[in-house]
């Protein structure tokens, strides 16, 4: 489900908040502040609510534009931290227990359904859906965080969020691959989520 139109669409604050300490470690707080300023993004407070989609997109693009060699690692670390936040604060304990005790294919389906229900928090005006379960493949059509042209998939933050959630609850050592990316001209960003073995 898309979060309204692009001018009113919002994305969860962790898409920015979890970048901040990673950027501080990578380039220092002063340069991180300069990067936010250059992107036209104010640092949100720790208790920020949903943020305008365009602000989140500007920060993600600025990281890729100004730190091209380090962006994949920075955005992956921010995505893993976002997944940790979701596990600690957004998924009820009973739901986590149930997903873990189910056989992995059923646990993956249940987690994918939960992600679909809350997709507006990370897909904004984009449209998220599960494409299939054998293997699990999901897509974000019109991904607002992948609107600038690139020669390789750029959705390291999304991939890392999926990785952390499925690694913690379904498949330890899960492997997430972005098979297609809007930034490369594909109609949707498509992720394959499966155990390594």
pLDDT value of position 87: 98
Would you say residue 41 has pLDDT above 90?
A: yes
Characterize the bridge pairing of strands 10-11 and 51-52: antiparallel
Measured distance CA(129)–CA(111) in Å, rounded? 13
Q: What is the pLDDT of residues 59-100, one digit of tens each?
A: 999 999 999 999 999 999 999 999 999 999 999 999 999 999
Angle in degrees, CA 115, 121, 124, rounded to 5: 115
Output the pLDDT for position 2: 43
**Domains of the chain listed by start with CATH number:** 10-195 (3.90.1520.10)
d(CA 3, CA 132): 23
Q: What is the pLDDT of residue 4?
A: 47
Share of the chain above pLDDT 70, in %: 96
Q: Write the DSSP assignment of 108-129 as a string of letters.
A: HHHHHHHHHHTTHHHHTTSEEE
* pLDDT the model gives residue 6: 53
pLDDT greater at residue 150 or residue 8: 150
Look at strands 188-195 and 136-141 and give their pairing.
antiparallel
> What average pLDDT does range 172-176 have in this prediction?
96
Q: Is the pLDDT of residue 8 over 90?
A: no
SS3 137: strand
Question: pLDDT value at position 1?
Answer: 39
51, containing H or E segment: strand 51-52
Q: Convert the pLDDT of each residue in 110-135 to its tens digit.
A: 999 999 999 999 999 999 999 999 99
């Amino acid at each position: 489900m898309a979060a309204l139109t692009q001018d009113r669409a919002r994305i969860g604050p962790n898409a920015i908040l979890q970048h901040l300490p990673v950027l501080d470690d990578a380039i220092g707080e002063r340069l991180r502040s300069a990067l936010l300023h250059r992107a036209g993004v104010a640092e949100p407070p720790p208790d920020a609510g949903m943020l305008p989609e365009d602000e989140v997109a500007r920060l993600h693009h600025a990281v890729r534009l100004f730190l091209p060699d380090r962006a994949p690692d920075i955005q992956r670390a921010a995505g893993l931290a976002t997944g940790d936040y979701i596990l600690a604060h957004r998924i009820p304990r009973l739901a986590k227990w149930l997903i873990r005790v189910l056989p992995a294919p059923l646990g993956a389906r249940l987690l994918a359904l939960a992600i679909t229900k809350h997709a507006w928090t990370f897909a904004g005006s984009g449209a998220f859906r599960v494409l299939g379960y054998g293997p699990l493949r999901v897509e974000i059509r019109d991904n607002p965080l992948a609107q600038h042209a690139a020669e390789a998939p750029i959705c390291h933050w999304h991939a890392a969020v999926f990785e952390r959630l499925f690694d913690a609850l379904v498949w330890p050592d899960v492997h997430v691959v972005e098979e297609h990316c809007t930034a490369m001209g594909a109609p949707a960003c498509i992720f394959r989520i499966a155990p390594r073995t």
